[in-house]
């Protein structure tokens, strides 16, 4: 499992918006500047987050994006599952994977299933609020 920039940047956007949530709708340009991420690239990530109802957007003057829920209601697992093709450690456990013909005799399957469970349990128990608390409030996050 390798988390893409899309997944890492989605987390950074969510943390940024959470830290600035008292300011109302935050223009994407501000988030892009604070995070030093291309605004154009962030647009594609924001679309995913809005479509999944993690964020709401408002167009026009005073517009931008904001969280639809409290930061402690978003798990890292849910955000990464949205942005990544798979969090599975091996392809046979990925979402929509074809049933492997060797599954019944696979001596490593239970190990991979266990690792998959550990990964998902771990990521499902970390929230955006936890990530906000893990460092000092600021404009730079390294994920």
- For the segment 7-17, what is each residue's pLDDT rounded down to a tens digit? 999 999 999 99
Cα dihedral: 66, 70, 31, 125 (round 10)? -140
**DSSP element (H, E) containing 64:** strand 64-67
CA atoms of 120 and 28, how far apart (whole Å): 30
pTM of the model: 0.86
| Residue 25: CB atoms within 10 Å | 18
Q: Nearest-CA neighbor of 8 among 58, 57, 43, 42?
A: 42
Average pLDDT over the chain, rounded to whole? 90
**Which spans in the chain are helix H?**
5-19, 28-35, 39-51, 76-83, 109-124, 128-133
Confidence check: pLDDT of 22 > 80: yes
Confidence check: pLDDT of 137 > 60: no
pLDDT of residue 136: 47
Confidence check: pLDDT of 23 > 50: yes
Q: Look up tokens 């949530």; give the residue.
A: 21
């Amino acid at each position: 499992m390798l988390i893409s920039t899309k997944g890492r940047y989605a987390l950074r956007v969510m943390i940024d918006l959470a830290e600035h949530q008292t300011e109302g709708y935050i223009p994407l340009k501000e988030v892009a500047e604070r995070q030093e991420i291309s605004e154009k690239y962030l647009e594609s990530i924001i679309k995913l987050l809005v479509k999944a109802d993690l964020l709401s957007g408002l167009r026009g003057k005073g517009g931008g994006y904001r969280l639809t829920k409290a930061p402690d209601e978003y798990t890292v697992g849910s955000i990464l599952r949205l942005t990544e093709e798979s969090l599975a450690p091996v392809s046979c456990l990925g979402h929509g994977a074809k049933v492997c013909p060797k599954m019944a005799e696979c001596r490593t399957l239970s190990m991979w299933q266990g690792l998959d469970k550990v990964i998902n349990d771990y990521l499902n128990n970390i929230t955006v609020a936890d990530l906000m608390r893990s460092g000092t409030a600021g404009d730079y996050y390294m994920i």
